[in-house]
Amino acid sequence: MNLTRTALVIKSTGSWYTLCDDTTNELIACRIRGNLRLQGKRSTNPVVVGDRVRYELEEQQTGVITEILPRRNYIIRRASNLSKESHIIAANIDQAFLVVSLRMPTTNCEFIDRFLVTAEAYHIPVTLLLNKCDLYTSDEEIEQKERFIEIYRSAGYELIETVAAQNIGIEAFKERLSGKISLLSGNSGVGKSTLIHAVDPSLKIRIGTVSTSNNRGRHTTTFSEMYPLAGGGYLIDTPGIKGFGLIDLDNREICRYFPDLFRYAPQCAFYNCTHTHEPDCAVQEALKRGEVSLSRYENYLKLLEDDKKYRT
């Protein structure tokens, strides 16, 4: 009879997983048992980095994962357009850092807000890392940057301006990583790998470039992996994400996950106000006064439309 052990999943390549054994700290290559699936979930990846699991050893010091232990949280997205399957990015994390850029490439604000809504739903604090700040040089670009910062800080999010090559914002980023399990996410080409290398140069991270023809990033991280940091804590690096479809969120709850909108909701005339057409809506009044960002409100409306599509 094989002895069942517990471990932490630190790397996922899709078909094989690297586990760190809880007792021995040995690294074990494992596959999953064929019938292992999350109850009631259709997921493209039933086991993810950050999961705690039970496993059994086989021959040649490989193993098989037999059980996923209960998760305290995770970041999840819809696998593809109009898909009913989910894709879990990472599990059991203390905080997330979303790397964004306004140039080379440009991070779409709708993508940012979708990520933030999911993190809010699972009680995961997010810090925005506004990277490549040295590229914003013209008056128009500087104004765009300042407006972006104002929108997200007024919404309640911490934001750090970073330039890895000039060591700008790196210490502030590093301080927040100590002793915690952190997720680093963002589109391809925004500079995730460069930031990781700046925080801990001992880590072997591939650094890519941005295509000059379309200003899109090239994938340098092809699978998720958790790295132990020299200053304490762990950082989960993930492949670049193109889109971020929401899943398992009721449209009646979505406003709760926009803190800048939801702070006005108790003042609405109707307790079930959707903040779209109702009279005496405090959210719409705040929007008219400029106290709520138009882009954030428009992205809220788009998420309501998403929910209608995916219910059909």
- What percentage of the chain carries pLDDT values higher than 90? 68
Residue 2: predicted pLDDT: 67
Please report the pLDDT score of residue 75 as a whole number: 93
Distance CA 290, CA 264 (A): 13
Instruction: Give dist(CA 113, CA 285) in Å, integer.
Output: 21
Residue 43's pLDDT is what?
74
pLDDT of residue 217: 38
* Mean of pLDDT over the chain: 88
Label residue 157 left, alpha or beta by phi (over 0 means left) and psi (-120 to 50 means alpha). Answer: beta
What Cα–Cα distance (Å) separates residue 206 from each residue in 203, 212, 269, 292?
10, 19, 54, 40
pLDDT for 270 equals 95
Overall average pLDDT of the 32-44 stretch: 66
**Nearest residue to 97 via CA among 153, 159, 40:** 159
- pLDDT-derived band of residue 34, with 50, 70 and 90 as boundaries? confident
- Report pLDDT for 212: 41
Average pLDDT in the 303-311 region? 69
Check: CB of residue 15 under 8 Å from CB of residue 51.
no
Of 31, 90, 120, 53, which Cα lies nearest the Cα of 239? 90
Share of the chain above pLDDT 70, in %: 88
pLDDT band for 301, please (50, 70, 90 cuts): very high
Quick check: 208 pLDDT over 80?
no
For the full predicted model, state whether its pTM sits above 0.75.
yes
Closest by CA to 66, choosing from 57, 55, 75, is: 55
CB 32 within 8 A of CB 47: yes
Q: Is the pLDDT of residue 311 over 50?
A: no
Which position has the higher pLDDT, 129 or 204? 129
Segment 138-146 mean pLDDT? 94
Domains detected in the chain: 4-68 (2.40.50.140), 74-237 (3.40.50.300), 254-311 (1.10.40.50)
From 105, 96, 2, 92, select the one nearest 53 (Cα to Cα).
92
Tell me the residue length of the chain: 312
Least confident of 66-70, 136-140, 249-253: 249-253
Q: Which residues pair with 27 in a beta bridge?
A: 20
* CA–CA gap between residue 273 and residue 285 (Å, rounded): 13
State residue 82's pLDDT score.
54
In the chain, alpha helices (H): 109-121, 139-154, 170-177, 192-199, 259-262, 282-288, 294-311
Segment 176-204 mean pLDDT: 92
Q: In this model, does residue 214 exceed pLDDT 70?
A: no
- Lowest pLDDT segment from 96-100, 151-155, 165-169: 165-169
Read off the pLDDT of residues 48-98 as tens digits, 9 standing for 90 and up.
Answer: 999 999 999 987 778 999 999 999 999 998 876 556 778 899 999 999 999
pLDDT at 216 over 70: no
Average pLDDT over residues 154-169: 94
pLDDT at 138 over 80: yes
Of 209, 194, 100, residue with least CA distance to 145: 100
Q: What is the DSSP string of 142-200?
A: HHHHHHHHHHHHHTT-EEEEEBGGGTBSHHHHHHHHTTSEEEEEE-TTSSHHHHHHHH-
Distances (CA, A) of 148 to 63, 123, 219, 223, 288: 47, 23, 26, 30, 19
